[in-house]
Amino acid sequence: MPFSEILAARTRDALARRTDIAEQRMFGGLCFLMRGHILVGVRRDSLLARLGEDEAAKALKKPFVTQFGAPRRPMKGWVVIDPEGLDTDRQLASWVEKAVAFVETMDPK
């Protein structure tokens, strides 16, 4: 299934002020990379976000957030935010900001 072009455009808008973002198609969707690391991705109509283990654990308490990865092999620190958690640009920007905060702690590739 293709990714949501609308969500991809909204994600671009949320990242518009940054100059260190690249886009790449992967995971059956579109990923946004920062300093060589995947930051967020658009898959179908959901957002994948790399939050780190602590922030992901907090996020997983929300009803519209699930663990990313195969059921038997979840990817720690990654979550999927369903469309209900992305209704407004403010909600989307909040998830993107959390991902940026985590990826900024990582050494550039």
- The reported pLDDT for the residue numbered 79 is 97
* pLDDT tens sequence across 8-43: 999 999 999 999 999 999 978 999 999 999 999 999
| Residues 75, 56 contacting (CB under 8 angstroms) | no
Q: What is the CATH code of the structural domain delimited by 5-103?
A: 3.90.1150.30
Burial of 68 (0-12, 13-18, 19+ CB in 10 A): buried
In the sheet with 37-43, reading across from the earlier edge strand, the strands are 21-26, 29-34, 37-43, 46-50, 73-81, 65-70
Q: Global pTM? A: 0.93
Give dist(CA 23, CA 83) in Å, integer: 21
With cut-offs at 50, 70 and 90, classify the pLDDT of residue 1: low
Domain boundaries in the chain? 5-103
